[in-house]
């Protein structure tokens, strides 16, 4: 049992990890707790983690690791190693960011939705973005992550994508000016889109109208529904 005053020294270097040393003094000998925070986290998130450890340093390392993962959903792993000299290293590893949901949410590869502010700007700078029109259901996180990971990377340049729910996912083909209405089990592929474009080009609704906006509902097996969308298209706010 450690006695006496707790002192904290934070050390941030140019390496890929942020290191904060926590020193707990006892009457005869000091024990040093080193917390290694993944640099994917923002400085604010790192400060939150440091503060949490500071206020819970009297916990066992096993309990502390478990509580950190429970309290901070963006943490993938937390492990501790005790050395012979009494030093204990606590390593915190972040989950891997997958995609931005609208402007303020980051979905991880594990399907966890997290606040954008938790992440280092460099860690999320190259992430693609899809629009979330309605409130995102946490229960859909894993399904959406799996769907995004199965999607060809160039889709994020070719389409504006909007997630309403797992039964209604909208793709706007920016080149062909066509909406595709999909769900979690279906996805428009390049050859399908090319064939569909040829079909639509020959339709009377296209020949007879200007500034048409068509929707192709591809959610049904062996059936394709094409209809004219009413109203204007504004950015990613669709359907």
Residue by residue, DSSP assigns the chain as: ---S-EEEEEEE-SSSEEEEEEEEE-SS-EEEEEEEEETTB-HHHHHHHHHHHHHTTTS-HHHHHHHHHHH-TTEEEEEEEE-TTS-EEEEEEEPPEEEEETTTEEEETTS-EEEGGGB-HHHHTT--EEEE-SPPPGGGHHHHHHHHHTS-TTHHHHEEEEEEETTEEEEEETTTTEEEEE-TT----HHHHHHHHHHHHTSHHHHH-SS--EEEE--STT--EEEEPPS--BTTB--
Give the model confidence (pLDDT) of 103-114 as tens digits: 899 999 999 999
- Domain-located, residue 234: no
What is the total count of domains within the chain?
2
Asked if residue 162 and residue 44 are part of one domain, the reply reads no
Give the model confidence (pLDDT) of 159-213 as tens digits: 999 998 889 999 988 887 788 889 998 887 777 777 777 777 666 555 555 556 7
| Beta strands 105-108 and 97-101, pairing class | antiparallel
Asked if residue 160 and residue 64 are part of one domain, the reply reads no
**Residue finishing a domain among 94, 121, 141:** 94
- Domain-located, residue 33: yes
pLDDT of residue 230: 65
Asked if residue 202 and residue 108 are part of one domain, the reply reads yes
Give the model confidence (pLDDT) of 114-170 as tens digits: 999 999 999 999 999 999 877 778 888 999 999 999 998 889 998 999 998 889 999
Asked if residue 103 and residue 70 are part of one domain, the reply reads no
Domain that holds residue 114: 97-228
pLDDT of residue 202: 65
Asked if residue 62 and residue 159 are part of one domain, the reply reads no
- Domain-located, residue 165: yes
- Domain-located, residue 110: yes
Asked if residue 199 and residue 124 are part of one domain, the reply reads yes
Cα angle: 111, vertex 100, 214; to 5 degrees: 105
Give the model confidence (pLDDT) of 69-85 as tens digits: 999 999 999 998 887 87
Asked if residue 168 and residue 124 are part of one domain, the reply reads yes
* Structure confidence at residue 101 as a pLDDT band (50, 70, 90): very high
- Burial zone of 144 (CB within 10 Å; 0-12 exposed, 13-18 middle, 19+ buried): buried
Asked if residue 79 and residue 28 are part of one domain, the reply reads yes
- Domain-located, residue 220: yes
Asked if residue 117 and residue 213 are part of one domain, the reply reads yes
Give the model confidence (pLDDT) of 27-46 as tens digits: 223 346 788 999 999 999 99
Asked if residue 13 and residue 77 are part of one domain, the reply reads yes
**Residue finishing a domain among 35, 65, 94:** 94
What is d(CA 191, CA 89) in angstroms, rounded to the nearest whole number? 53
Asked if residue 114 and residue 90 are part of one domain, the reply reads no
In terms of pLDDT, which residue wins out, 110 or 4?
110
pLDDT of residue 203: 64
- Domain-located, residue 117: yes
**Residue finishing a domain among 94, 117, 143:** 94
Phi-psi region of 221 (alpha: psi -120 to 50; beta: other; left: phi over 0): beta
pLDDT of residue 239: 41
Asked if residue 216 and residue 104 are part of one domain, the reply reads yes
């Amino acid at each position: 049992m450690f006695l006496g005053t707790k002192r904290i020294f934070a050390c941030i270097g140019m390496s890929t990890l942020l290191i904060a040393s926590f020193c707990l003094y006892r009457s005869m000998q000091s024990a040093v707790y080193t917390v290694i925070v993944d640099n994917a986290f923002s400085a604010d998130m790192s400060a939150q983690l440091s503060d949490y450890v500071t206020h819970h340093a009297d916990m066992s390392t096993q309990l502390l690791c478990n509580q950190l993962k429970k309290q901070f959903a963006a943490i993938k792993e937390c492990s501790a190693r005790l050395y012979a000299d009494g030093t204990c290293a606590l390593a915190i590893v972040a989950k891997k960011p997958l995609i931005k949901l609208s402007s303020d949410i980051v979905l991880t590869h594990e399907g966890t939705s997290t606040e954008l502010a938790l992440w280092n700007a460099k860690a999320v700078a190259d992430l693609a973005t899809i629009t979330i029109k309605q409130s995102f259901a946490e229960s859909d996180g894993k399904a959406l992550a799996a769907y995004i990971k199965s999607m060809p990377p160039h889709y994020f340049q070719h389409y504006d994508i909007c997630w309403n729910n797992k039964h209604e996912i909208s793709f706007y083909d920016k080149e062909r000016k066509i909406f595709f209405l999909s769900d979690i089990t279906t996805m428009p592929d390049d050859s399908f889109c090319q064939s569909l474009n040829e079909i639509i080009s020959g339709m009377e609704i296209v020949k007879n109208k200007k500034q048409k906006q068509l929707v192709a509902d591809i959610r049904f097996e062996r059936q394709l529904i094409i209809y004219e969308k009413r109203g204007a298209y504004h950015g990613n706010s669709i359907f």
